[in-house]
Structure 1
Amino acid sequence: MKNLIKILFIFLFCSVFKAQQTDVSVIKYEDLEKRIQQEKDKLLVVNFWSTTCGPCVKELPYFMEENSKYSDNQEFKMILVSLDRLADKERVLKFIKNKNLTAEVLLLDDIKRMNTWILRFDKDWDGNIPVTLFYKNGTKLHFNDGEMSKEELEKTIKENLQ
């Protein structure tokens, strides 16, 4: 019985803490583009944000709520793309822990080419954040420029997850 309780405790501990990242992958635009193309048969929600962006931080709890809601759904994936500077990687890691971010976080270290890759995501994106894109099979379904309300996010996910 003691061993069963220990195993149960270890399982619960791992379940609770497995969702939070302990490191952040640093990527270039091309790496992110490949990731988007690789997520076949999934609704992929890609949110561009920064730890210093007020509207970004404000909307993140809605994203975490939706990520949690669909965590067992094999047709759903969320990626949070931090546009913080590479020098601020430790701040991003602390932010992930403090805000209990459960979606995968990537640090896009490609500021010098920003004017090139921004337009490749959407011709109407002026570079401001937050921005959220919704993809399925590598095809963009929806572009949201600016902060999303909880209702907008829920609705967009439901409409595109079918």
Structure 2
Amino acid sequence: MHIFFIFLFCTVFKAQQSDVSVIKYEDLEKRIQQEKDKLLVINFWSTTCAPCVKELPHFMEVNAEYSDNQKYKMILISLDRLADKERVLKFIKNKNLTAEVILLDDIKRMNTWIPRFDQDWDGNIPVTLFYKNGTKFYFNDGEMSKEDLKKTIKENLQ
């Protein structure tokens, strides 16, 4: 029984990030293209956004279901300020976020890069984008239910 708990602790500890990549929009765009062989789920969120925080637990449940699939990847894009990086790291640990988290340090140019993701995006979060073969195929504006998230992944993952 003790061995099980040690294994469980090590597994959870290993799954969490100890640091966050800080990137600009152009680097995020390149990163999306690098993952073009996968079904890519990109979620924009912030630690101060109540709907974002509310949806993250079921995002992590769904991520756990598919994390062993080589054709799947979830990336959480934090829109917190760079000055709040420590808060983001603490949030990742406290909420046991197992998907990769990236801090997008490009708030001053939001009006430039937001429409490049989707013309209908008004800048509010949460927003979830789905890519397949490097091309966006679905844009979810606002909170996304666990059922809709699973359905979108399942229908497009091959």
Range class of TM-score, shorter chain: over 0.9
Tell me, which stretches of 5 or more residues in structure 1 are unaligned?
1-5
- 2:31 equivalent in structure 1: 35
- Summarize the Cα distance change of 1:85–1:136 in structure 2 as closer, same or farther, 3 Å threshold: same
Question: Structure 1 residue 130 and structure 2 residue 126: aligned?
Answer: yes
Letter in 1 for 2:93: K
What does 1:4-153 correspond to in 2, within 5 Å? 14-153=10-149
- 1:3 equivalent in structure 2: none
Letter in 2 for 1:134: F
Q: Secondary structure at the match of 1:40?
A: coil
- Summarize the Cα distance change of 1:148–1:12 in structure 2 as closer, same or farther, 3 Å threshold: closer
User: Could you tell me how far apart the structure 1 residues matched to 2:91 and 2:11 are?
Assistant: 20
Letter in 2 for 1:100: N
8 Å Cα contact 2:37/2:134 also seen in 1? no
The Cα of 1:46 is off from its aligned counterpart by 0.2
Give aligned-pair identity as a percent.
87
Tell me, which stretches of 5 or more residues in structure 2 are unaligned?
none
TM-score normalised by L of structure 1: 0.91
Q: How many residues align?
A: 157
User: Could you tell me how far apart the structure 1 residues matched to 2:146 and 2:7 are?
Assistant: 32
Q: Secondary structure at the match of 1:18?
A: helix
- Render the CA deviation track for 1:80-114: whole Å, top value 9, x for unaligned: 00000000000000000000000000000001100
TM-score normalised by L of structure 2: 0.93
- What is the aligned-residue RMSD (CA, Å)? 1.7
